[in-house]
Structure formats: structure tokens, C-alpha cells
Amino acid sequence: VFELLEAFDIPLIKHPGFEADDLIGTAARKYEGECSVYIVTPDKDLSQLVHDGTKILRPGKNQNELELLGKKEIEELYGVGPEHFTELLTLCGDTSDNIPGAKGIGPKTASAMLHKYGSIDNIYRHLDEVSPKVRQSLSDFRPNLELVRTLVTILTDIDMDLPLRNLACGEPEREKLMPLLERLELRSIASRVQALYPGFLQRDAQKTRNTAGALPPADVQPDPPGGEQIPADYTLVRTAEELEKLIASLEGVERIAVDTETTSLDTFKAELAGISISAVRGRAAFLYFAEGALDRDKTLERIRPLLENPSLPKSGQNLKYDILVLKKYGIDLAPVGFDSMLASYVFDPEERHNMDDLAAQYLGYRTTTYDELVGTGKQKLGIFEVDPLKLRDYACQDADIALRLEAAFREKFESEEKLLWLCEHLEFPLVSVLADMEYEGVCIDTDHLEKTSVTVKKQLELLKEKIYGSAGTTFNIDSPKQLAHILFDVLGLPTKKATKTGFSTNVEVLEELAPLHPVASDLLEYRSLQKLKSTYIDALPLILNPSTRRLHTSFNQHITATGRLSSSNPNLQNIPIRTALGKEIRRAFIPSSPEKSLLSADYSQIELRIAAEISGDPKLVDAFRNHEDIHAATAKVIFGTNEITPDMRRKAKEVNFGVLYGIMPFGLSKRLNIPRSEADTIITTYKLKYPGLFRSLQDIVETGRKTGYVTTLLGRRRYLPDLN
């Protein structure tokens, strides 16, 4: 970030020992007499800095929207003006920074008291005038009052000798910026720089990273006026006659690119506004479903044979979305012939894979963005409010670009047959499978989770009281600052790791402190329970689809750098199981009906089987061929005995998996809780008994250093530019 700021010639204020809020506060007060000050932030804490010459620009809900907040707007939003904002935060606390306020006092009560009494100090002078509940809360809060007031107050008087003229932004320095954007692969930013500074960015900025073994971009130019390539010919289809003409023109085509236009990114909420189809690069048609245009249901039924034709491959960008949208309307879009997003991912997982970037990188073409189509902020239009001709061009562009990208990628695949095989035999066929899984969803027993939540809440309350008893005082357990004060100042435990804002209280630190004081063990249990409760027990029922009453996750093929499938919204690959509570959470996942069952399946030592296949190590291969318990077999090797105890097998299992991921003696000793010398002996013995495996691991690293990437059994590449 610092390198980018320097290359863009954007001044940076740093001051050791002070947080960004304090530097912003000091700068605002220092310069507001010389110029208008605007603080760009979503953080409400900085509202206390708003002044005659200082306003806040708050990012709105939409990407390009900013709200201007002055004194009047602050008071309308929070009930008090900037001059009383620190007092408001003191009474209410600040949940974003884990700073507790007076229990039970929210912004409404706090602002009403501040309006009536003018200050916190005056409120305390009139405690007899407030309700008994508020009076008790304020009395309990009094010992922490000054600490909280200090924590929420932003400093405005840091000693900074920095003239305003030194803070002027300059123009980007091309010699610094271009190599940096290239190295960081920020191609979309490079495109925006080009728009802001015409002539600044040359085409060489659009080249892909020239890592050894990496593929250069396709040399496919946009259609120039009067050029040899086919110019864009986009058609709006609004009548039955035009539809029949389109269908007739598509007879005999070898493939089509398809894209849907909808009202939402959520496929279950999305209303289909139209479908764009392209069979020839440079030509596309948009079937428009709106009042006075095509009837959606009749049109879908008419083009069903086209969209479902098993002999007609479909191309697109992120086709899984289109499949899910159409599935809701009873259409099974298939088969997937090409997906440019996934092709890009297979070429290089670490690149950006959205259509805008791919079009710029491989076609030299700047697409019309969705924000440019519908606008932003209060001026944003609904998809059905957009001018039909503009919507036609936008929608047809998506189908046309998808077809052009397929041509560009297939040209590159000619010299990379393994990557093409990976796309056509794994990635593309998987799209429809994942779409079916997402559409089906998974059922949740909400009653079970509700009962579990009540039980865990009681456990947390008991743990809180136990922790307060050990500490000798009450405090906000969720505040790292307050917790550090209790652990290291009050209880006098040894500090372990420092951060910018104090001493760390993370899990690693608490685990080291656990043998020294019971409060650390209780805190670990508290955090574990709280995380499971907030992340799963309470959260899962809230994200059930209101129509299906099921969880519909998204399975992502293009996210992880390793080729692993990931899950999001919610992540169903990370449901806990190791603890008793984790198992209770898993019990909430149930079959959709009494006649059905959930089947759990897992590969047996899959990593080690792959290692045996790749390395060909005789002992490892024989162990699998003879159907041996591989961990027991390893235990016999490293411990030199046939009498294997459960503890020996457990250690052998850690060694088996640890060695594959490059574990060192120090790491193994920590994991097994054994002396480092013993861990060193175990790894040395393992290497002597499985020499083929270790040679293979060394060869893989050496190949990666030479080529810039390593490959899987199926030919997937992982680029490793930092390996050397």
C-alpha cells in the first residue's frame, strides 16, 4: 500500500505510537483554518471531528455513492451534534472497538439525557431525576467512566510539523507506477488510470505477468472502425415474429454463447429481464422480457429446445449463475461447452477472472460496466427502467465477449493440451453438478439450534462469572485492550507478543498462559463457545432461504489458488466437528424428508495415496497395495517395532501428513509435545525409510524453481514466483 501511494504521488502521514484516527483528528484541526477538510470514512467515531471547516464523506450502500455529513446531518443521524459525540460514545460504548458503555443505555436514551443535562458530569449530578434502572446502570458504570471516555476520544493535538503544501497530491509517476501495477497484477486499476490520464498508460501495461511458463495474452484486438473484423451487430428481440426469425437463424450453429440479465445477484431472488444469445463473434440478440415486449414464459418455452439441446454446447462467463437463474424458470441450460471465467482460472489461478478484466487483457476492449448502465446512488435505475437499446447493447456485449474470449483462450490452449483437458474433462462438466447442488440446498433443524443456543448462552454466562472471579473485577472480555490490562497489569502474567496497540491476547498467547493461570483456559473456552454460537448456532437459521427454508451455499471453482473447491455464503466446508458442541451443530444438518438419509463419505488417506503415486516409493506403494494401516506401517518404520501402541500410531499420523507439507523438527516437536531431538530423530528415520518420497518432494521444488510453477497429477498449475 505504501509503495502504491508513493507511485501515485499521494502524501502519507505517519507518526510512531499513534493510531490513524488520532492522526486524522490532528490533521483536521490543524488544517481546517487553511482549507476545507473532508474525512472519507465509514467509521462513526470520527463524527466527533466534524466542525465548521470539517465534514465527513461517508461511503454509501452503493459502490460510487458518498454522503456528505456536516453538523446538521450528524445530529439527524445520531441525535446529538459533533460537540457531544464523544459523550454519546462514552455512555453507549463502541461495539466496533469492543468498548463497553453503561449497560442497557442505547443512543436514544443517551442523546435524550445529553440534550436535557448538557454533559455526562451534569447527568451524574442529577441521578435522582432519572429512572431507577438508568440510575443503577450509571452508578455501576461510574468506575469505568473515565477509562471509556479516554478510549473513545480522538486526539487532535499530536505534535506534527507538516505544512499543508506538502500534502498536495501530484500526478502518478509512470516509471514507478507501471512496474508496480504489473507486479501486483492490478490491471483494472491500470485501466482506470488510463481513463483518468489519457495517453499515460501504454498497451504494455496490459501484458500478463511474464513468469517462467506463464502464458501471454491473446493478440485479439477490438473491432476497429472500418477494420477487417466483423463489426458489432446487436439486435433487440421484442416480438414473436422477431423471435421466430432469430430461432431460424440459429439452426445448424455449432455452439451459442448465453447470458442472462436479472434484477439481483441472488439467483433465488433474481427476476429474469432477458437473455442474450450469440452464435457468431460480433453478432448477438437480446430477448427482452418486459411489458410491451416478449412474454417471458411463452418465450422460454419456445427456446427451451435450443437452451436444453444436449448436442449444442453453451458458452458464457460464469455460466453457473445463468444455469441457476434459468433452473428457477424450469429450464435446464446444458451442456457447458466453455466458461471463460474458468478458462482464465485454469491458465493462472492468481489472475482476475471477471469479464471486464478478461476483455481488457485478452481482447484489448473496455466493456460497459453495470454501474455505467444503471447508474449509482439515488440515480440508480432498476433493470426494467434502463433504456431498452442501452440494455440491448450491454446484454449482447456480454454474450459476444464470451464468444470472443472462447476463441482467444482456445488459441492459447493449442499449445497447452493438458490445461484444455482439465477444462473440458473436469472444470466445465462440474459446473452443472455444482449448480444442481446449490439449487437443492440443505435442510437445517432450527429447533435443535435454538435449544443449543440457550444451553451455550448459559455456559457463557457461567464462564463470564468464573473469569470475573479470577480477575477480581468485571470488564469487557471481548475487548483486547481491557483483557490485556487484566492479564498483564492486574494479574501480572508475563507478556508474550506486542502489537501496535498493546500486548496480544490471541489464542496462541492464551495457550501459553494457560499453565500459569486458570483464567487463560477459561478465556480460551469462552472464545471457542462464543465463536461457535455467533458463527453457526445463531447465524445459520438467519440465512435460510425464506422460500425454500434451506441453506443454499455457493460452490466456487475459481477462488482458491490450489484448485480446491471452496464454499461461501455460508461456508459449508468449515462446519466444526472436533468438539462435542461441534457435533451438536452438525446434528442440525438433516435430510429433506424422513424417507431420505445424509451420507458422509471420505477418502482414505488421499494425500498419502497421491504421494505414493507421484513418488513411486516402494515401501509406501507396497503398504497401500497390501491394504495395510498406513499410519501403523509408518509407526513400525520410525519406531523400529511391530508392537504399535495407539500413541505411536497417532505420532506416525502426524509425521505422515506433516512431512508432506514440509514440517521441520521444531514444528513436529511442538505438535507432538516431544523434545526437539526426538522429533529430529523421527524425521531422519522417516527420510531413510522412504527415500523415494523425499527425492520426489525435492524434485518438485527444484522443478518449481526452474519453471516458475508446479503441477498436479491432472496438470493443474500453481505459479510460485516467490519460490526463488
Three-state SS sequence of 649-699: HHHHHHHHHHHHCCCCHHHHHHHHCCCHHHHHHHHHHHHHHCHHHHHHHHH
Residues 172-186 have a mean pLDDT of: 76
Which cell is 469 given?
Answer: 472471579
d(CA 54, CA 38): 6
Which cell is 400 given?
Answer: 459476444
**CA 381 remoteness from chain centre:** 27
Nearest residue to 110 (alpha-carbon basis) of 186, 146, 94 = 94
540-570 pLDDT, tens digit each: 999 999 999 999 999 999 998 889 999 998 8
Nearest residue to 54 (alpha-carbon basis) of 64, 42, 68, 75 = 68
428-462 pLDDT, tens digit each: 999 999 999 999 999 999 999 999 999 999 999 99
Strand partners, 262: 272
Cβ neighbours around 27 below 10 Å, total? 21
3-state secondary structure (DSSP) of residue 287:
strand
584-598 pLDDT, tens digit each: 999 999 999 999 999
- The type of residue at 540 is L
Phi, then psi, of 662 in degrees rounded to 5: 75, 30
**Alpha carbon distances (Å) from 26 to 70, 71, 330:** 18, 19, 60
- Asked if the model's pLDDT at residue 209 lies above 50, the reply is no
**Alpha carbon distances (Å) from 675 to 649, 650, 670, 671:** 18, 16, 8, 11
Q: From its phi and psi, is residue 660 left (phi > 0), alpha (psi between -120 and 50) or beta?
A: alpha
H/E stretch holding 567: strand 566-568
Burial class (CB in 10 A: 0-12, 13-18, 19+), 209: middle
Highest mean pLDDT among 144-148, 303-307, 496-500: 303-307
44-97 pLDDT, tens digit each: 899 999 988 899 998 876 555 678 899 988 988 888 999 999 999 999 988 777
Q: Are 620 and 690 in contact (CB under 8 A)?
A: yes
Predicted pLDDT at 61: 62
Q: What percent of the chain has pLDDT over 90?
A: 52
d(CA 177, CA 196): 14
Predicted pLDDT at 605: 87
476, 479, 480, 482: CA torsion to nearest 10: -40
The end-to-end CA distance of the chain, in Å, is: 23
Which cell is 222 given?
Answer: 477490438
Residues 21-35 have a mean pLDDT of: 87
How would residue 706 be classed by pLDDT, with cut points 50, 70 and 90? very high
- The type of residue at 162 is L
- The residue assigned the cell 464462564 is 463
Q: Is the pTM of this model over 0.75?
A: no
How would residue 221 be classed by pLDDT, with cut points 50, 70 and 90? very low
Structural domains for the chain: 11-166 (1.10.150.20), 171-206 (no CATH), 233-438 (3.30.420.10), 444-590 (1.20.1060.10), 606-719 (1.10.150.20)
Q: Are 399 and 279 in contact (CB under 8 A)?
A: no
**Alpha carbon distances (Å) from 678 to 9, 638, 716:** 55, 11, 37
Predicted pLDDT at 543: 92
3-state secondary structure (DSSP) of residue 580:
helix
How would residue 220 be classed by pLDDT, with cut points 50, 70 and 90? very low
- Count Cα atoms within 13 angstroms, Cβ side, for 655: 30
Predicted pLDDT at 673: 83
Q: Are 209 and 216 in contact (CB under 8 A)?
A: no
Residues 169-176 have a mean pLDDT of: 75
* DSSP letter (8 states) at residue 520: H
Q: From its phi and psi, is residue 106 left (phi > 0), alpha (psi between -120 and 50) or beta?
A: beta
Cβ neighbours around 466 below 10 Å, total? 15
Cis peptide upstream of residue 222 (ω within 30 degrees of 0): no
d(CA 129, CA 549): 49
225-258 pLDDT, tens digit each: 332 334 579 999 999 999 999 999 999 999 999 9
Predicted pLDDT at 177: 81
How would residue 144 be classed by pLDDT, with cut points 50, 70 and 90? confident
Which cell is 118 given?
Answer: 448538557
209 vs 691, which has greater pLDDT? 691
The mean predicted confidence, pLDDT, of the chain is: 87
Q: Are 473 and 489 in contact (CB under 8 A)?
A: no
Predicted pLDDT at 574: 86
Q: Are 265 and 325 in contact (CB under 8 A)?
A: no
How would residue 188 be classed by pLDDT, with cut points 50, 70 and 90? low
How would residue 33 be classed by pLDDT, with cut points 50, 70 and 90? confident
d(CA 471, CA 94): 23
325-344 pLDDT, tens digit each: 999 999 999 999 999 999 99
